[in-house]
Every structure is written in C-alpha cells, then in structure tokens.
Amino acid sequence: MPIKDVDLENLEKKGYRFVGSHRHAAAKVCHWTKKSMTDEGVCYKEKFYGIKSHRCLQMSPSIPFCHHKCLFCWRDVSITSPQWEGPYDEPAKIIEECIKAQRSLLVGYFGNERANIQKIQQAQHPNNAAISLAGEPMLYPKIEGLLEEFNKKNFTTFLVSNGLTPERLENLSTEPTQLYLSLDAPNRNVYNDLCLPQVEKGWEKLNQSLDLLSSFDSRTVIRMTCVKDNNMLKPQEYADIIKRSNPDFVEIKAYMYVGSSIDRLKLENMPSYEDLKSFAQLIADLCGKKVVDEAFESRVVLLK
C-alpha cells in the first residue's frame, strides 16, 4: 500500500527523499555524514569497519513495510505494513535516484565555509550503502537485484534485517558486504512486549535466521538495542543466543530518546554509557567474546 500523501509530506520534512514511481524507497542524509563533511566526527561504522561516513548512502527500498512496531524505533511505525503490497520499482532505478537525491540534499555544503571541499567532491560519488533507513529491506521483492546493482557500482553494502524472513536469507544468492541481524530481546516474552511483531511466530523466525549466520561468507553482526528497565536483563540468555549463532561481531547500542519513540518510551529508558558498557562487558564475558572497540558519541560497544 503506497504511503499516504500526508505521511509522505511528514517524512519529507524530516529529510527523507522518496525515489521511483511507487513511493516505497527513499534516501536520507545521515547525521554522521553531515558531521564528517565539516570534520566534526564520523560514524562508528567508520571507526569499527573502515567505511567513509561522507561517502555513505543511507537508504531503504521498503520504507512502509516492516514486521515489527518496536517501541524503541525512532520512525513512525503507524505507517508500516508487515507484508509487501502493490507494485515496486526496479533496483537500478532506486539506486540511481537515491544517489541523485543525496547529491541534492548535500548541495548546500558547497557554500559552507567550514566544509571540507575534498569530502564534498567525494560525497558526490558514494561507495557504501547503509540499507537501513526504515522498514525491513528483505521484504523488497528484488533485494538480491538491489545488492547486485550496488556491486556493479563497486559499493560495499551494509544490510540491516530484523530476521523475520529466514527463508529469503537462506536462499540469498548475492550476499551483502555486512549482514546485520537485530536481537533486541533475550527471550520470547520480552521480544513480544518490546518489538510488537505483526506476524505469527516472530521469535521462532528470528532464531531461524540467527542460526543461519554461520553459513554466510560475508561479515556478520548481531545488533542489540538496549532499553533501560526493559530488555537489559537476562545476560546469560543473550550470551547463549550469541554463542549459538556465532556472528563475527556484536554491536551493543543504547536506545536513544529521539523521533517517534518519545511517544512510546521515557527519557529514563535511555541507558547511560556506563550502564551500557557494564551490560556489554557482562555479555562479552558470558559468551566468550571481548570488547574490542567503542564509540561514546553513538553509545555503542563492539564485541568480537
């Protein structure tokens, strides 16, 4: 189902730029891309994995489609549908128009005296796709084609999934450079209360996907969003899942009190960095991994 005009207008005001004919794909300039342009900092993904923040294209082919309505999500989850509805645009068209949209959104930096001119020029030609803006990208019917088209353009691809399409992950012939699966609960009860799945057997499907991680040739990451007084509990249960799925990395991130999430949660649900680090260290000890990096500004700790 296409996004309603009023919802599309709202998202456009927030910096989204919709592309294609069917209004399901969009790009949005990341906060850290902007920071990098003026040499005021970079995304933790640059620090951890070496991508360049000023050349990163944040996008999604499936803005209105997601299986979850997570309480901590900073997006407006009221517009999301758990299954694909309607026609869709081709991958090549989506990518071409997303790059054009990003260039248009960054044009003001040419007149910014504080901007790094070399970065501005390089940013016209992004080379990393963060397929994570909103929605569940695995619901896009041509997700493999999207990855293939990015490969043709020599992009690295960071694909973030909620793990509720294990059958598609299992048969993914073209892998991203880095596959993220979100693990935001230690057990079914917490998962149902926090992630509000809109499909049956969500917890079981997530675990099926987690069990597939070791079969991927690409770099794999479990991403955890920690909400104080909600899912920061049962560290042994998290550790057991991590040991079983054996990802290359685990990112343990703090919930941030921003966007539409402020209508569902409280400021007190945002953990301090000290609380986050303590919880991350506890999980690391229990699953046999080590804290290898951290980014205070983004409130994220990396385990390997």
Q: What is the pLDDT along the chain (304 residues), one digit of tens a residue?
A: 567 777 778 888 888 999 999 989 999 999 999 999 999 999 999 999 999 999 999 999 999 999 999 999 988 888 889 999 899 999 999 999 999 999 999 999 998 989 999 999 999 999 999 999 999 999 999 999 999 999 999 999 999 999 999 999 999 999 999 999 999 999 999 999 999 999 999 999 999 999 999 999 999 999 999 999 999 999 999 999 999 999 999 999 999 999 888 999 999 999 999 999 999 999 999 999 999 999 999 999 999 9
**Distance of alpha carbon 33 from alpha carbon 12, whole angstroms:** 18
Please tell me the predicted confidence (pLDDT) of residue 2.
62
Count the neighbouring beta carbons within 10 Å of the beta carbon of residue 257. Answer: 15
- For the record, the structure tokens of 175 come out as 């892998």
Stated pTM of the model: 0.94
**Distance of alpha carbon 65 from alpha carbon 83, whole angstroms:** 6
CA of residue 106 relative to chain centroid, distance: 21
For residues 25 and 19, is the Cβ–Cβ distance under 8 A?
Answer: yes
Describe the crossing of helices 273-287 and 235-245 by its angle, rounded to 10 degrees.
50
**Distance of alpha carbon 206 from alpha carbon 202, whole angstroms:** 6
User: Count of H helices and E strands in the chain?
Assistant: 11, 10
Architecture of domain 5-303: Alpha-Beta Barrel (3.20)
For residues 270 and 242, is the Cβ–Cβ distance under 8 A?
Answer: no
- Domain map of the chain by residue range? 5-303
